[in-house]
Amino acid sequence: MTDAPTDPRFAALPAVPGKIIAVHLSYESRAAQRGRRPAAPSYFFKPASSVAASGATIERPAGTELLAFEGEVALIIGTPARRVPLERAWEHVGWVTASNDWGLYDLRGNDKGSNVRNKGRDGYTPLGPQLIDARAVDPTALRVRTWRNGELVQDDRTSDEHLIFPLAQFVADLSQHFTLEVGDVILTGTPAGSSVAQPGDVVEVEVDAPDTAGTPSSGRLVTRVVEGPGDFDESIGSLPQVNDLQREEAWGSRQAAGLPSEPEVKTPGLTPELRAKLLEAPVAGLSQQLRQRGIRGVFIDGPKSDTPGAKLVGTAKTLRFVPLREDLFKAHGGGYNAQKRAFDAVEEGEVIVIEARGNAGSGTLGDILALRAKARGAAGIVTDGGVRDHTVVAGIDLPVFSQGGHPAVLGRYHVPWEHDVTIACGGATVQPGDIIVGDDDGVIVIPPALAEEVADATLAQEAEDAWIAAQVEAGHPVDGLFPMNAEWRARYEAEQAQSGA
């Protein structure tokens, strides 16, 4: 073992770590909670200056609200690892211990995915207090538990059914890209149960191997939360800020954060049978049937099909842009912003509907995002703004309805703000899950509860209109025929009955 460092912050470690690498998402329980499951591990770095010993205090800056704990298993490299295969990777782990990957979600949006400020602050990586010899434990048989003020809030295992990726995979994967050196630390992600702590709270984390003889344990890693100074200087950096998405993810759920529940879907989704009916039904006929039922404000004004003849049917996934304000674009416009998150999360059969306030003076998407939507199985895209790379997007096999092409980038007029909320697109209110239908006449929003009834009525009316057209073509005058009087109605119904329609 390397000589132990003299700085008390690193007392539990074999050396001052040259690198601390943290995994974004690794537990099945956390993935279920977040609603996304990664196909491969992803990482971020934390500075060695963020390390703290057991018993230390952690500061939540005055004026902030979302300091969240994350109990984790920490791996400490015992022998250098460079391009090691998965089956040999665990041999390079020298020790295992407890860690708490604290984060200040008030700074998370500003970090744009890097986690530099929200997780890199002094004291935000407590480790210890004891090391477990990695050779003495099975990496699939570890347990991590977290207590807040004495209450158990996290309890999970590292077995295959609990982890998305085995612990050894992180070592093998990272060693493909750089050398892991003795003392380097890998924080392996947190399970469900991570939440927000307040000044005065005490949070404890323990890692052990309960099924191993002697039950090797890291002991309780203790951190006390205190209020620290909040004197952020706006002239040299961005200020902390929060929104409901950060509150939901910091607390673990909308309910825990005290936020209202998402709107409930009252009706079944778009079934294959209903989709087939709507593909056949014209938007003009659907609009007429909705008007007859007192629903008028459902036509999305402005967007037209970028590929004439295309038919669009799907359920709405909404994305909202707000007017450009330079400070807000700086905080929300770059990195993994709401626009990119929406396109990355669109599901098969969904239509991305974008609120751009009818402003077609810049692009609201381009060819890359259109390709991403197509790859995800999206049914199409509707925007009341413009489209960059218009000709290329129109050539992609994906229905896109927009106000036409524009070469300007998003930041000319728009800030990507939020997704999966109620929006206004082309003068129509659109909620997540609403049914969207588009053709060469335009785009309409159908309340899910009425979709089946309206589709059936539209198809019945189409059949009737086709019969009327045939009579007009045969030379009959429209008077009494369009709309049908009692005599013509009787003839129509008799023919329908005779044909078995």
Which amino acids are annotated as binding site, given as ranges?
366-369, 388-389
Residues found in the chain: 501
Going 91 to 94 to 95 to 96, the CA torsion angle's sign is negative
Q: Is 25:113 a contact under the CB 8 Å cutoff?
A: no
CA 85 – CA 87 distance, rounded (Å): 6
Q: Is 162:29 a contact under the CB 8 Å cutoff?
A: yes
Q: Which residues of 189-214 are buried (b: 16+ CB within 10 A; e: fewer)?
A: bbbbbbbbbeeebebbbbbbbeeeee
CA 206 – CA 126 distance, rounded (Å): 12
* Residue 117 parent element (H or E): helix 116-119
172: tokens are: 């093998």
The SS3 of residue 95 is: strand
Q: What are phi and psi of 112, to 5 degrees?
A: 50, 40
CA 41 – CA 172 distance, rounded (Å): 11
Alpha-helical (H) ranges within 166-321 are 167-175, 244-251, 272-280, 283-292
Contacts of 25 (CB under 8 A, 6+ apart): 31, 34, 36, 37, 38, 42, 164, 189
Q: Is 124:106 a contact under the CB 8 Å cutoff?
A: no
Concatenated DSSP letters for 306-339? SSTT--EEEEEEEEEEEE--HHHHHHHTSSS-HH
Alpha-helical (H) ranges within 346-478 are 367-375, 390-395, 451-473
402: tokens are: 């927009």
Q: Round the CA-based radius of gyration of the chain to a whole number and report it.
A: 29
Q: In 56-142, where do the E strands start and end? A: 56-61, 67-69, 71-77, 93-100, 103-104, 125-133
The SS3 of residue 36 is: coil
CA 476 – CA 468 distance, rounded (Å): 9
Please report, in range form, the residues annotated as the binding site for Mg(2+): 389
Please report, in range form, the residues annotated as the binding site for substrate: 366-369, 388
Q: Is 95:160 a contact under the CB 8 Å cutoff?
A: no
CA 157 – CA 86 distance, rounded (Å): 20
State the chain's maximal CA–CA distance in angstroms: 102
